[in-house]
Amino acid sequence: MLFFLRDVPVDAFRRFRGVRVRRNSGGDGLCRTETEKTKMARKNRIHVPNGTYHVTSRLAERAHWLSDPSFKDKIVSWMHSVAEFCGVELLAWCVMDNHFHMLVYVPEVPEEFRLNPSESPDAFAFGMRPAECNTPLWSPDDGVPVDAAPRRPPTGFTLSDDEMVHRLTALYGEKRADAFARRWERLRVKGQHSTVEAEKEPFLRRMYSLSPFVKTIKERIARHVNSTLGRSGHVFEGRFFSGLVENSRAACMASLYVDYNPVRAGMVADAAEYRWCSFGAAHGGRYAESSRNGYARTFGKEWTEARAAIRRAFADVPDAEAEERMRSGEERLRPSQLIHLRVPELSRGAYIATSVTFAAKTRARLAKGFPSASSGTLLKLVAMVDWKSAAA
């Protein structure tokens, strides 16, 4: 991307991340040639409206910093409270000792919140990568013309004060949310409505988008780990992985894969005994209702029917050579068998698809070279699995 700017102080570009400035030798400190936005190392994530994603993130050095039961309880609570704030749906989740999984549905902004009900806002377009990573944030003191760089796109939606306070209560608690409510009420009385809307905007940009949702959870985990252990530095080994999941049998298998983690790791014999996964939580407790609602959306069945289907899948254990036969093309495994295996494509791939058509369309939306290997192997996975099997 090229920006052609004339007579702009070179110092003004210091806040422009990822920009290389070519300066003329005029001696006046002005940039009279183009500036090139360099290729950023972090690729854009794939995003579709009303998309379902399998998210996983692992701790640095694979350290077991999440093993404390009380800390796992906190993480589960954060997942649900942040999901309520962001307006996303948590379909399945599991907190392990050194990583976590989530199956997340990210809906479009509801029509009741849109500024123009007939148009879907473009909030998701800049939400997947925070706006500050793409758009230079100029300071008024830099002397840069207003039209010298693109501005942040409008959110295209807003929330009432009551709805925003409700969301903030889920995120921060009643005390802090009430402080916002009282302040906005005072500003409304004074007629300063634009100030209230301006203070809402940073929160709006964190809603109905996957990256801000996961970022908030990881930030809370990182702060707690560093505070508890008296350390500093990175807590996670890198960016979280998010695979786009086709809304079909693939979503059911992704849900099963997430819930079967503690059994596959040998931590419990039955996933229902592990309260830090959605299947265990659905059997009773604080998050039983929300977990059952997640299964209803994913499986299209009530909890009793969904539980029976999940039990059948957990019992469909393949033999030791099943994966080798699958990858060699000798046999197509059922999705319920696949969850018992350690398949990297399911946790680190760009998408999980049941059809070549969906996989091809998804690959076409990926940035070049991202992901480096998983996209090709996932196309093979479509052919290696018997998606039409009755046990799926």
- Inter-residue contact 347 to 241 (CB < 8 Å): yes
- Inter-residue contact 57 to 214 (CB < 8 Å): yes
Distance between CA atoms of 3 and 37, rounded to whole angstroms? 8
pLDDT of residue 124: 45
Confidence of residue 143 (pLDDT cuts 50, 70, 90): low
Alpha helices in 87-209 (DSSP H): 123-127, 131-134, 161-172, 174-189, 193-204
Report the candidate in 74, 72, 62, 78 with the shortest Cα–Cα distance to residue 94: 72
pLDDT tens digits for range 119-130? 777 644 444 444
Confidence of residue 144 (pLDDT cuts 50, 70, 90): low
Distance between CA atoms of 180 and 178, rounded to whole angstroms? 5
pLDDT of residue 341: 84
Distance between CA atoms of 359 and 54, rounded to whole angstroms? 15
Distance of CA 214 to the CA centre of its chain: 5
Whole-number CA gyration radius for the chain: 24
**pTM (two decimals):** 0.81
- Inter-residue contact 196 to 188 (CB < 8 Å): yes
C-alpha distances (whole Å) from 297 to each of 102, 241, 293 are 15, 23, 6
List the structure tokens of 148.
């010298």
Lowest mean pLDDT among 88-102, 287-301, 351-365: 351-365
List the structure tokens of 318.
């393949």
- Inter-residue contact 106 to 210 (CB < 8 Å): yes
C-alpha distances (whole Å) from 86 to each of 91, 102, 127, 379 are 14, 15, 11, 32
- Topology adopted by domain 51-107+210-384: Alpha-Beta Plaits (3.30.70)
pLDDT tens digits for range 41-96? 566 677 778 889 999 999 998 899 999 999 999 999 999 999 999 999 999 999 99
**What secondary structure letter does DSSP report for 60?**
G
List the structure tokens of 70.
């009380």
For 168, residues 6+ apart whose C-beta sits below 8 A from its C-beta are 85, 176, 177, 180, 203
For the chain, which residues make up each domain, given as ranges?
Answer: 2-41, 51-107+210-384, 120-132+140-204
Distance between CA atoms of 340 and 338, rounded to whole angstroms? 5
Cis peptide before 212 (omega within 30 of 0): no
Residue 367 vs residue 158, higher pLDDT:
158
